[in-house]
Amino acid sequence: MPSSALIYTLAGIWIAVIGLRGVLAEEHVFRKIVASNIFGSGVFLVLVALARRAPDGPPDPVPHGMILTGIVVAVSATALMLALLGHLHDTDPDDREDSP
Amino acid sequence: MIASPWLLTLPVILPLAFGVLTLLFPSDWLARTGRHGAMLCAAAVVPCTRWVWQAGPLHQSPGGWTAPLGIDLYLDGMACLFLIFTAVMGLGISFYAAAYYPPSPDGTRTRNDLFWPLWFVTWGGIQSLFLSQDLFNIYVTLELISVSGVGLILIAGTPGAVRAALQYQMQALIAGLVYLLGVGLVYNAVGTLDLQLMSDQLQPGLMKNTGMALMTAGLLIKAALFPLHFWLPKAHADATAPVSAVLSGLVVTVAFVMLTRIWFAGLHQLAPFLLPKLLGILGSAGIVWGGVLALRQHRLKRVLAYSTVSQVGYLFLVFALTFHDAPGQGLVWTGAVYLTISHGLVKGAAFMAAGYLQKAEGTDQLAALKGCARRHPVAVMVLAVASINLMGLPPSTGFIGKWMMLKASFHTQQWGLAVVMLGGGLLSAAYLFRVFEQLLQPSGPPSGPSRGGEAVTPLTRSQSIWMLTPAMLLALATLLPVLYITLPDALLRIGAPLPFSDFIRPGGTP
């Protein structure tokens, strides 16, 4: 019986791979942005799973701090990218399908 | 001797404080505030240098929180050398930018005014990165630098710049997350984020090796090593000239320096066996690929941007050359540090000169710049000095760096790398001569000075002087290494991560 931490770690890796594939393979910028968020969620899930070091001890707070910072960075980066994409869409409507 | 508790904090706090001030100040104060702020920020490095020189490496824990819980700042010879480099670049860029961005006619804030807060925040981020000794702090400062870099690119305001900024932010986010995942894995195995504290428990293990590989991969994207350089040329070429100088001269350097910092702190033991070799191969490919693409560009700033891709390739040869059993490690390391610094200085200077030409001629299309050596001899002279360095010709610092690395490739018998380094020099000569062929034409194109379709506002005399003097000084600084070559060498030895018995002096024996 695999431990729950292992299951979460593998699931996180799986989600991260899906996200990374999206960032690399998707044509449309909006899809790339969504994919980058999926990638981020996968990474955070791996880190959360790893923070649980002992099966029944309390989890390690340091990775949690790292994840929180990572989420803040990812959210603001996403907001910035969406704003830029919206700006491009407004100013240059012919070009909206073009990836940068 | 007791260090002031502010010694290592000031180089970080001062630029950040000026970032806030320039955000609040009215538009017509900014140029002056920027220049004065730059001088203050640069001055903060002086006591640090004095300390390292007299008393050696220094650890400080801001706020009194020590390493396992708090985040230590660490100053050694290498960090100090890069602080000095940042201060010199910062002064040059600030004086240049103060002349480059014209004051708005009616005193209202314009997009150009955002250069100052973003630039000072970048500066603070870079200084704090060079003082970092903590894997997670490196992540935070790298993200800080990236986000302000995105803002800096946007100052250009063109759709091309917006697209470049979007791509820049995308690579920064992914690179940051990959690096963060690596940090998480290493932390999970080692139980600390402090580079010094973890150095005694670095037995390889699957988790640690994977973490190290991920951290390296994240930093490779940020350092734009081939084939992860895709985001660089657009961003560096489409930004306004002071921003190009910041990005190509300073920001690219930063990821590489942190990578060496992590590797040389002992974590190279965790690198999977083939990684150094792979970095050598990618570096070689980058030298060739960047050079070939630089040959095919029609705009001056694009040529310079692809030249950055090529020069970054050189830096990464250090990993293939150093983590090898043969002696001569210190030589490669010193060589790579010289190369990093000289590339930063001349690429900054070259982008400044290119920005001057673009402003004076209305375009940076090579065909339209025909014959402009007659009209702007000083700017072309700056480009010439920079070219000597990029080609690696004596007596430039670029030559010394490349020569040290070449010597190490003979020592370690990696002939392939030696061939690539020499061939890369020829390639840089080829793409730079192509530029000069146009610039040095005896006559210009027939039409008047608004060839690029943009309206050209003639530069005032003082504007020209303030734009070209910093560029010239930065470029010349790399041509006079005979005068000061022993200084960086001695500085690098203070707290160096490599055993010094391994060091070979330039021209000496092992």
Q: What would the DSSP string read from start to end of A48-89?
A: HHHH--SSSSPPPHHHHHHHHHHHHHHHHHHHHHHHHHHHHH
Segment B460-494, tens digit of pLDDT: 888 899 999 999 999 998 887 655 667 777 788 78
Q: Provide, rounded to the nearest whole percent, the portion of chain A with pLDDT above 70.
A: 87
| Phi, psi of B354, deg, nearest 5 | -65, -40
Look at A66 and B167 and tell me if their CB atoms are within 8 Å.
Answer: no
Distance CA B491, CA B487 (A): 6
Q: Is the pLDDT of residue B454 over 60?
A: no
Q: Work out whether strand B58-60 and strand B73-75 pair parallel, antiparallel, or are unpaired.
A: antiparallel
Residues present in chain A in total: 100
Look at A50 and B159 and tell me if their CB atoms are within 8 Å.
Answer: no
Look at B188 and A53 and tell me if their CB atoms are within 8 Å.
Answer: yes
Q: Is the pLDDT of residue B166 over 90?
A: yes
pLDDT of residue B403: 87
- Classify residue A26 by burial, with Cβ atoms within 10 Å: 0-12, 13-18, 19+: middle
Which residue type is seen at A44? F
pLDDT of residue B355: 94
Grouping H, G, I as helix, E, B as strand and the rest as coil, residue B71 is coil
Q: Provide, rounded to the nearest whole percent, the portion of chain B with pLDDT above 70.
A: 91
Q: Is the pLDDT of residue B2 over 80?
A: no
Tell whether B506 lies on the interface with A, counting CB pairs under 8 A.
Answer: no
Interface test with B, best of A76, A84, A91, A99 (most B CBs within 10 A): A84
Segment B233-282, tens digit of pLDDT: 999 999 999 999 999 999 999 999 999 888 887 777 777 778 888 999 99
Q: Identify the helix (H) or strand (E) that includes residue B167.
A: helix B159-190
Look at A84 and B165 and tell me if their CB atoms are within 8 Å.
Answer: yes
DSSP string, B270-286: GS-TTHHHHHHHHHHHH
Split at pLDDT 50, 70, 90, the class of A98 is very low
Q: Is the pLDDT of residue B26 over 90?
A: no
Q: Which residues of chain A lie closer than 8 angstroms to B177, CB-CB?
A: 39-40, 43, 70, 74
Chain A (38-77) residues lying within 8 Å, Cβ to Cβ, of chain B: 39-40, 43, 46-47, 50-51, 53, 62-63, 66, 69-70, 73-74, 76-77
Mean of pLDDT values over B491-501: 65
What's the token pair of residue B474?
């930065």
DSSP annotation of B114: G
Tell whether B11 lies on the interface with A, counting CB pairs under 8 A.
Answer: no
Look at B180 and A70 and tell me if their CB atoms are within 8 Å.
Answer: yes
Distance CA A97, CA A28 (A): 6
Look at B173 and A70 and tell me if their CB atoms are within 8 Å.
Answer: no
Distance of alpha carbon A20 from the chain centroid: 9
B75 DSSP β-pair partners:
B58
pLDDT of residue A2: 67
Residues 6+ apart with CB under 8 A from B182: B210, B211, B212, B213, B214, B215, B216, B217, B218
pLDDT of residue B471: 94
Look at B166 and A47 and tell me if their CB atoms are within 8 Å.
Answer: no
Closest by CA to B275, choosing from B314, B315, B313, B320, is B320
Q: Is the pLDDT of residue B509 over 60?
A: no
CB-facing half-sphere around the CA of B437: CA atoms within 13 A: 9
Split at pLDDT 50, 70, 90, the class of B306 is very high
Distance CA B107, CA B38 (A): 22
Split at pLDDT 50, 70, 90, the class of B175 is very high
- A63 vs B143, B176, B184: nearest CB: B184
Rg (CA), chain A: 17
Q: Is the pLDDT of residue B455 over 70?
A: no
Chains A, B: CB contacts under 8 A, how many? 85
ipTM for this model:
0.93
Catalogue the E-assigned strands of B48-132: 58-60, 73-75
Look at B147 and A46 and tell me if their CB atoms are within 8 Å.
Answer: no
pLDDT of residue B483: 58
C-beta of residue B337 within 8 angstroms of C-beta of residue B344: no
Residues present in chain B in total: 510
Closest by CA to B344, choosing from B244, B261, B421, is B244
Q: Is the pLDDT of residue B189 over 90?
A: no
Q: Is the pLDDT of residue B118 over 90?
A: yes
Q: Which residues of chain B lie closer than 8 angstroms to A74, CB-CB?
A: 173, 177
Segment B418-446, tens digit of pLDDT: 999 999 999 999 999 999 998 988 876 65
CB neighbour burial string for B369-385, b if at least 16 within 10 angstroms, e if fewer: bbebbeebebbbbbbbb
Which residue type is seen at B307? S
CA dihedral over B26, B351, B155, B358, signed as positive or negative: positive
Which residue type is seen at B79? A
Grouping H, G, I as helix, E, B as strand and the rest as coil, residue B181 is helix
- A63 vs B140, B167, B187: nearest CB: B187
Segment B322-355, tens digit of pLDDT: 765 555 566 777 888 888 998 999 999 999 999 9
